[in-house]
Structure 1
Amino acid sequence: MKVGCDAKAVEMPGFPKMRVARPSDDLEALLRFYRDGLGLQVLARFDDHDGFDGIILGQPNAPYHLEFTTAHGEVAGRAPTDDNLLVFYLPDQTMWEDAVASMKSAGFDPIPSFNPYWDRVGVTFQDPDGYRVVLQRAEWSR
Protein backbone atom coordinates (compact mmCIF):
# COMPACT_ATOMS: atom_id res chain seq x y z
CA MET A 1 0.00 0.00 0.00
CA LYS A 2 1.42 3.34 -0.98
CA VAL A 3 0.90 6.04 1.62
CA GLY A 4 1.03 9.77 1.43
CA CYS A 5 1.21 10.47 -2.30
CA ASP A 6 -0.43 9.67 -5.58
CA ALA A 7 2.26 8.17 -7.82
CA LYS A 8 1.09 10.52 -10.59
CA ALA A 9 1.66 13.65 -8.52
CA VAL A 10 2.75 16.69 -10.45
CA GLU A 11 5.67 18.71 -9.17
CA MET A 12 4.90 22.39 -8.76
CA PRO A 13 7.62 24.87 -9.77
CA GLY A 14 9.12 26.51 -6.72
CA PHE A 15 7.41 24.12 -4.31
CA PRO A 16 10.03 22.97 -1.77
CA LYS A 17 10.99 19.34 -1.46
CA MET A 18 11.48 17.82 1.98
CA ARG A 19 13.80 15.11 3.21
CA VAL A 20 13.40 13.83 6.75
CA ALA A 21 16.73 12.33 7.78
CA ARG A 22 17.61 10.54 10.98
CA PRO A 23 20.07 7.97 12.28
CA SER A 24 19.33 4.36 13.13
CA ASP A 25 21.15 1.35 14.46
CA ASP A 26 19.24 -1.11 12.25
CA LEU A 27 18.56 -0.12 8.65
CA GLU A 28 17.21 -3.56 7.71
CA ALA A 29 14.54 -3.42 10.43
CA LEU A 30 13.50 0.04 9.24
CA LEU A 31 13.36 -1.24 5.68
CA ARG A 32 10.84 -3.90 6.72
CA PHE A 33 8.71 -1.29 8.49
CA TYR A 34 8.72 1.51 5.90
CA ARG A 35 8.93 -0.57 2.72
CA ASP A 36 7.08 -3.77 3.60
CA GLY A 37 4.59 -2.19 6.00
CA LEU A 38 3.99 1.32 4.64
CA GLY A 39 4.73 0.51 1.02
CA LEU A 40 7.40 3.15 0.46
CA GLN A 41 9.92 2.38 -2.26
CA VAL A 42 13.69 2.31 -1.97
CA LEU A 43 14.75 5.35 -3.99
CA ALA A 44 18.47 5.02 -3.20
CA ARG A 45 20.84 3.06 -1.04
CA PHE A 46 24.48 3.72 -0.18
CA ASP A 47 27.25 1.97 1.71
CA ASP A 48 30.30 3.55 3.33
CA HIS A 49 29.68 7.06 2.01
CA ASP A 50 32.16 8.96 4.19
CA GLY A 51 31.53 6.45 6.99
CA PHE A 52 27.76 6.26 6.59
CA ASP A 53 25.41 3.60 5.23
CA GLY A 54 21.90 4.64 4.32
CA ILE A 55 18.59 4.12 2.59
CA ILE A 56 16.27 6.70 1.06
CA LEU A 57 12.60 5.76 0.89
CA GLY A 58 9.55 7.42 -0.64
CA GLN A 59 7.33 7.42 -3.69
CA PRO A 60 8.38 8.54 -7.16
CA ASN A 61 7.34 12.17 -7.81
CA ALA A 62 6.46 12.79 -4.17
CA PRO A 63 7.84 16.06 -2.77
CA TYR A 64 9.26 14.25 0.27
CA HIS A 65 11.34 11.25 1.18
CA LEU A 66 12.82 9.65 4.26
CA GLU A 67 16.53 8.99 4.75
CA PHE A 68 17.85 6.66 7.41
CA THR A 69 21.58 6.41 8.06
CA THR A 70 23.98 4.45 10.22
CA ALA A 71 27.31 6.04 11.11
CA HIS A 72 30.07 3.47 11.41
CA GLY A 73 31.14 3.10 15.04
CA GLU A 74 28.31 5.28 16.44
CA VAL A 75 25.17 4.39 18.38
CA ALA A 76 22.02 6.24 17.32
CA GLY A 77 19.75 5.04 20.11
CA ARG A 78 15.97 5.18 20.23
CA ALA A 79 13.39 7.92 19.85
CA PRO A 80 13.69 10.47 22.66
CA THR A 81 9.94 10.48 23.41
CA ASP A 82 6.74 8.63 22.51
CA ASP A 83 5.49 11.75 20.71
CA ASN A 84 8.01 11.78 17.83
CA LEU A 85 5.66 11.30 14.86
CA LEU A 86 5.36 11.14 11.12
CA VAL A 87 1.73 11.60 10.11
CA PHE A 88 0.32 10.42 6.79
CA TYR A 89 -3.11 11.85 5.96
CA LEU A 90 -5.22 9.31 4.07
CA PRO A 91 -8.72 10.75 3.57
CA ASP A 92 -9.96 7.91 1.36
CA GLN A 93 -11.51 5.23 3.58
CA THR A 94 -10.39 2.32 1.38
CA MET A 95 -6.83 3.66 1.04
CA TRP A 96 -6.64 4.12 4.82
CA GLU A 97 -7.99 0.62 5.52
CA ASP A 98 -5.53 -0.86 3.01
CA ALA A 99 -2.61 1.00 4.64
CA VAL A 100 -3.57 -0.24 8.12
CA ALA A 101 -4.03 -3.79 6.81
CA SER A 102 -0.62 -3.63 5.09
CA MET A 103 1.08 -2.68 8.34
CA LYS A 104 -0.67 -5.47 10.23
CA SER A 105 0.08 -8.08 7.57
CA ALA A 106 3.76 -7.06 7.68
CA GLY A 107 3.70 -7.91 11.41
CA PHE A 108 3.30 -4.45 12.96
CA ASP A 109 0.58 -4.02 15.56
CA PRO A 110 -1.10 -0.69 16.31
CA ILE A 111 -0.25 0.98 19.60
CA PRO A 112 -2.06 3.68 21.58
CA SER A 113 -0.83 7.13 20.68
CA PHE A 114 0.86 9.22 23.36
CA ASN A 115 -1.47 12.07 22.38
CA PRO A 116 -5.04 10.67 22.30
CA TYR A 117 -5.94 13.10 19.49
CA TRP A 118 -4.28 10.76 16.98
CA ASP A 119 -6.38 7.78 18.10
CA ARG A 120 -9.70 9.51 17.28
CA VAL A 121 -9.49 8.98 13.51
CA GLY A 122 -6.11 7.37 13.09
CA VAL A 123 -3.93 4.43 13.97
CA THR A 124 -0.40 4.66 15.35
CA PHE A 125 2.45 2.23 14.71
CA GLN A 126 5.93 2.26 16.22
CA ASP A 127 8.99 1.66 14.08
CA PRO A 128 11.93 -0.46 15.31
CA ASP A 129 13.73 2.66 16.62
CA GLY A 130 10.75 3.77 18.71
CA TYR A 131 9.59 6.55 16.37
CA ARG A 132 5.91 6.54 15.56
CA VAL A 133 3.91 6.74 12.36
CA VAL A 134 0.27 7.77 12.37
CA LEU A 135 -2.05 6.76 9.55
CA GLN A 136 -4.65 9.49 9.88
CA ARG A 137 -8.04 8.96 8.24
CA ALA A 138 -8.55 12.65 7.55
CA GLU A 139 -8.04 15.33 4.94
CA TRP A 140 -4.99 17.59 5.22
CA SER A 141 -6.73 20.93 5.57
CA ARG A 142 -3.98 23.40 6.25
Structure 2
Amino acid sequence: MTPVLRIARPSDDLDALLPFYRDGLGLRLLGRFDDHAGFDGIILGHPDAPWHFEFTRCRGHSAGRAPTQDNLAVLYLPDPDDWQTAVTRMEQAGYPPVPAFNPYWDRQGRTFEDPDGYRVVLQNAAWG
Protein backbone atom coordinates (compact mmCIF):
# COMPACT_ATOMS: atom_id res chain seq x y z
CA MET A 1 0.00 0.00 0.00
CA THR A 2 1.30 3.46 -0.91
CA PRO A 3 0.58 6.03 1.81
CA VAL A 4 -1.04 9.35 1.05
CA LEU A 5 1.16 12.30 1.99
CA ARG A 6 -0.27 15.49 3.44
CA ILE A 7 2.10 18.38 3.96
CA ALA A 8 0.45 20.63 6.53
CA ARG A 9 1.63 23.93 7.89
CA PRO A 10 0.19 27.04 9.48
CA SER A 11 -0.28 30.43 7.88
CA ASP A 12 -1.57 33.82 8.92
CA ASP A 13 -3.23 34.53 5.56
CA LEU A 14 -4.89 31.70 3.64
CA ASP A 15 -6.31 34.11 1.07
CA ALA A 16 -2.78 35.24 0.14
CA LEU A 17 -1.56 31.63 -0.23
CA LEU A 18 -4.44 30.43 -2.39
CA PRO A 19 -3.43 32.20 -5.64
CA PHE A 20 0.21 31.10 -5.28
CA TYR A 21 -0.65 27.40 -5.06
CA ARG A 22 -3.77 27.42 -7.25
CA ASP A 23 -3.00 29.96 -9.99
CA GLY A 24 0.79 29.77 -9.87
CA LEU A 25 1.46 26.09 -9.27
CA GLY A 26 -1.75 24.98 -10.96
CA LEU A 27 -3.03 22.93 -8.02
CA ARG A 28 -6.75 22.47 -7.43
CA LEU A 29 -8.57 23.55 -4.33
CA LEU A 30 -9.64 20.15 -2.98
CA GLY A 31 -11.25 21.38 0.21
CA ARG A 32 -11.79 24.25 2.56
CA PHE A 33 -12.98 24.45 6.14
CA ASP A 34 -13.87 27.25 8.52
CA ASP A 35 -13.80 27.28 12.32
CA HIS A 36 -13.02 23.60 12.80
CA ALA A 37 -12.15 23.76 16.52
CA GLY A 38 -10.79 27.29 15.93
CA PHE A 39 -8.95 26.45 12.71
CA ASP A 40 -9.63 27.52 9.14
CA GLY A 41 -7.95 25.70 6.28
CA ILE A 42 -7.47 25.05 2.60
CA ILE A 43 -6.32 21.82 0.93
CA LEU A 44 -4.69 21.93 -2.52
CA GLY A 45 -3.34 19.28 -4.84
CA HIS A 46 -4.29 17.09 -7.76
CA PRO A 47 -7.36 14.90 -7.23
CA ASP A 48 -5.61 11.67 -8.31
CA ALA A 49 -2.22 12.36 -6.71
CA PRO A 50 -1.23 10.62 -3.45
CA TRP A 51 -0.13 13.95 -1.91
CA HIS A 52 -1.53 17.38 -1.16
CA PHE A 53 -0.85 20.56 0.78
CA GLU A 54 -2.96 21.71 3.71
CA PHE A 55 -2.63 25.23 5.09
CA THR A 56 -4.33 26.19 8.33
CA ARG A 57 -4.93 29.36 10.27
CA CYS A 58 -5.57 29.18 13.99
CA ARG A 59 -7.78 32.00 15.13
CA GLY A 60 -6.02 34.16 17.70
CA HIS A 61 -2.56 32.69 17.00
CA SER A 62 0.24 34.07 14.82
CA ALA A 63 2.11 31.51 12.69
CA GLY A 64 4.77 33.92 11.41
CA ARG A 65 6.96 33.47 8.36
CA ALA A 66 9.26 30.66 7.25
CA PRO A 67 12.22 30.34 9.63
CA THR A 68 14.79 30.11 6.80
CA GLN A 69 15.04 30.48 3.03
CA ASP A 70 15.82 26.77 2.80
CA ASN A 71 12.34 25.53 3.79
CA LEU A 72 11.43 23.85 0.51
CA ALA A 73 8.88 21.71 -1.24
CA VAL A 74 10.43 20.34 -4.44
CA LEU A 75 8.29 19.30 -7.39
CA TYR A 76 10.17 17.22 -9.98
CA LEU A 77 9.09 17.85 -13.58
CA PRO A 78 11.41 15.82 -15.84
CA ASP A 79 9.76 16.80 -19.15
CA PRO A 80 11.30 20.11 -20.33
CA ASP A 81 8.04 21.33 -21.87
CA ASP A 82 6.02 20.56 -18.70
CA TRP A 83 8.69 22.27 -16.61
CA GLN A 84 8.74 25.40 -18.79
CA THR A 85 4.93 25.55 -18.75
CA ALA A 86 4.98 25.40 -14.93
CA VAL A 87 7.65 28.12 -14.66
CA THR A 88 5.78 30.34 -17.10
CA ARG A 89 2.50 29.83 -15.22
CA MET A 90 4.16 30.95 -11.97
CA GLU A 91 5.64 34.05 -13.61
CA GLN A 92 2.35 34.95 -15.34
CA ALA A 93 0.55 34.61 -12.01
CA GLY A 94 2.90 37.30 -10.66
CA TYR A 95 5.47 35.15 -8.86
CA PRO A 96 9.00 35.73 -10.21
CA PRO A 97 11.72 33.21 -9.37
CA VAL A 98 14.06 33.98 -6.48
CA PRO A 99 17.67 32.84 -6.10
CA ALA A 100 17.81 29.53 -4.25
CA PHE A 101 19.51 29.58 -0.84
CA ASN A 102 21.29 26.37 -1.90
CA PRO A 103 22.68 27.00 -5.42
CA TYR A 104 22.12 23.33 -6.30
CA TRP A 105 18.45 24.11 -7.00
CA ASP A 106 19.33 26.83 -9.53
CA ARG A 107 21.18 24.37 -11.80
CA GLN A 108 18.08 22.60 -13.13
CA GLY A 109 15.27 24.41 -11.39
CA ARG A 110 13.56 27.61 -10.42
CA THR A 111 12.64 28.58 -6.88
CA PHE A 112 9.53 30.56 -5.98
CA GLU A 113 8.64 32.05 -2.59
CA ASP A 114 5.07 31.97 -1.31
CA PRO A 115 3.55 34.86 0.67
CA ASP A 116 4.65 33.23 3.96
CA GLY A 117 8.29 32.98 2.87
CA TYR A 118 8.23 29.21 2.24
CA ARG A 119 9.70 28.14 -1.05
CA VAL A 120 8.74 25.76 -3.84
CA VAL A 121 11.31 24.51 -6.33
CA LEU A 122 10.21 23.44 -9.80
CA GLN A 123 13.01 21.04 -10.67
CA ASN A 124 13.56 20.02 -14.31
CA ALA A 125 14.80 16.54 -13.45
CA ALA A 126 13.54 13.10 -12.57
CA TRP A 127 13.54 12.19 -8.91
CA GLY A 128 15.73 9.34 -7.84
Q: Quick one: which of 28, 31, 53 aligns to 1:41?
A: 28
Structure-2 residue corresponding to 1:15? 2
Structure-1 residue corresponding to 2:64? 77
How far the C-alpha of 1:131 sits from its partner, in A, is 0.3
Question: Percent of aligned pairs with the same residue?
Answer: 67
Residues 1:127 and 2:127 aligned together: no
Q: Work out the CA distance in 2 between the residues paired with 1:81 and 1:108.
A: 19
Q: Secondary structure at the match of 1:32?
A: helix
Structure-1 residue corresponding to 2:87? 100
What are the Cα deviations for residues 74-133 of structure 1, in whole angstroms up to 9, with x where unaligned? Answer: 000000000000000000000000000000000001000000000000000000000000
Q: How many residues align?
A: 128
Q: Work out the CA distance in 1 between the residues paired with 2:40 and 2:2.
A: 29
Task: Specify every segment of 5 or more residues in structure 2 that has no aligned partner in the other structure, as ranges.
Answer: none
The CA RMSD measured in Å over matched residues stands at 0.4
Q: Work out the CA distance in 2 between the residues paired with 1:37 and 1:61.
A: 19
Q: Work out the CA distance in 1 between the residues paired with 2:58 and 2:47.
A: 26
Structure 1 segments, 4+ long, off by >6 Å, are none
Task: Specify every segment of 5 or more residues in structure 1 that has no aligned partner in the other structure, as ranges.
Answer: 1-13
Q: Quick one: which of 74, 87, 100 aligns to 2:74?
A: 87
Q: Work out the CA distance in 2 between the residues paired with 1:37 and 1:28.
A: 14
Q: Work out the CA distance in 2 between the residues paired with 1:37 and 1:115.
A: 22
Structure-1 residue corresponding to 2:39? 52
Normalising by the residue count of structure 2, what TM-score does the alignment of the two structures yield?
Answer: 0.99
